């Protein structure tokens, strides 16, 4: 299904109306993809969505140590329920999207000079795989809380609902992106991402 999902939650930073970069990226992705439905999710709409369709996950939703965990967690449920594509707000769309079976983003590891799998862009059209992904993430939330101290805030995020968990699932299930991230998106976000800033300030 052709739906673009984006999320803006109150994580203690600037309100959306002050984020001209986000607003510009929203405008561009809408203009380039007029045949796609667009959904911008916020705190209330996501809570309602999960309460209605994934009530079994509300305990996780209400007990994350920081609100930005919700941004990562919600995208798995949105893809499972609605399909479509999830796009981080700091990603700028470069050309019209395609209805890929699998598509995901990348992040640049400066220390190793390589591009790695990222969850900044996520698209899996197969509902069976999406359910398997959501189950995997829910299991990781339980397992990693036992093995990672809560004081390791960044690592706990990455390995429960974040990019490390997503990348493990992608590799484990041998899912290959149908398109090249660099053909469709660019981002200015390197080390000043919202969630990193929030972690450092807490």
How many helices (H) does the chain have, and how many strands (E)? 9, 7
Whether residue 115 lies inside any domain: the answer is yes
**Domain annotation covers residue 111:** yes
- Regarding pTM above 0.85, the answer is yes
Of 122, 97, 86, nearest to 5 by C-alpha is: 86
Q: Is residue 46 in some structural domain? A: yes
pLDDT at 189: 56
Q: What is the CATH number of the domain that holds 148?
A: 3.90.550.20
pLDDT score of 147: 78
* CA nearest to 179, candidates 89, 114, 109, 94: 94
Q: Is residue 104 part of a domain?
A: yes
Instruction: Give the range of the structural domain holding residue 109, as residue numbers without chain letter.
Output: 3-194
Tens place of pLDDT per residue across the chain (202 aa): 899 999 999 887 889 999 999 999 999 999 999 999 999 999 999 999 999 999 999 999 999 888 889 999 999 999 999 999 999 999 999 999 999 999 999 988 888 888 899 999 999 999 999 999 999 999 999 988 777 777 667 778 888 998 999 999 999 999 999 999 999 999 865 444 444 444 444 4
Q: Which two tokens stand for residue 112?
A: 């190793």
Q: What is the pLDDT of residue 192?
A: 44
User: What is the pairing mode between strands 114-124 and 102-109?
Assistant: antiparallel
202 falls within a domain = no
Total of domains in the chain: 1
Per-residue model confidence (pLDDT) at position 199:
40
């Amino acid at each position: 299904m052709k739906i673009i999902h984006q999320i803006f939650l109150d994580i203690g930073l600037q309100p959306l109306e002050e984020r001209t970069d986000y607003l510009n990226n929203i405008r561009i992705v809408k203009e380039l993809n007029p045949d796609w439905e667009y959904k911008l999710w916020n705190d209330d709409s996501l809570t309602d969505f999960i309460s209605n369709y994934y009530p079994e996950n509300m305990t996780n939703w209400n007990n994350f140590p920081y609100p930005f965990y919700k941004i990562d967690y919600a995208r798995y449920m949105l893809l499972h329920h609605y399909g479509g594509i999830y796009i981080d707000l700091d990603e700028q769309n470069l050309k019209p999207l395609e209805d890929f079976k699998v598509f995901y983003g990348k992040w640049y590891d400066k220390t190793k000079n390589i591009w790695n799998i990222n969850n900044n862009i996520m698209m899996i059209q197969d509902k069976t795989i999406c359910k398997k992904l959501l189950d995997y993430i829910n299991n990781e939330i339980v397992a990693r809380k036992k093995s990672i101290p809560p004081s390791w805030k960044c690592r706990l995020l990455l390995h429960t609902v974040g990019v490390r968990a997503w990348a493990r699932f992608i590799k484990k299930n041998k899912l290959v992106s149908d398109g090249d991230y660099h053909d469709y998106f660019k981002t200015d976000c390197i080390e000043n991402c919202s969630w990193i800033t929030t972690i450092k300030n807490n």
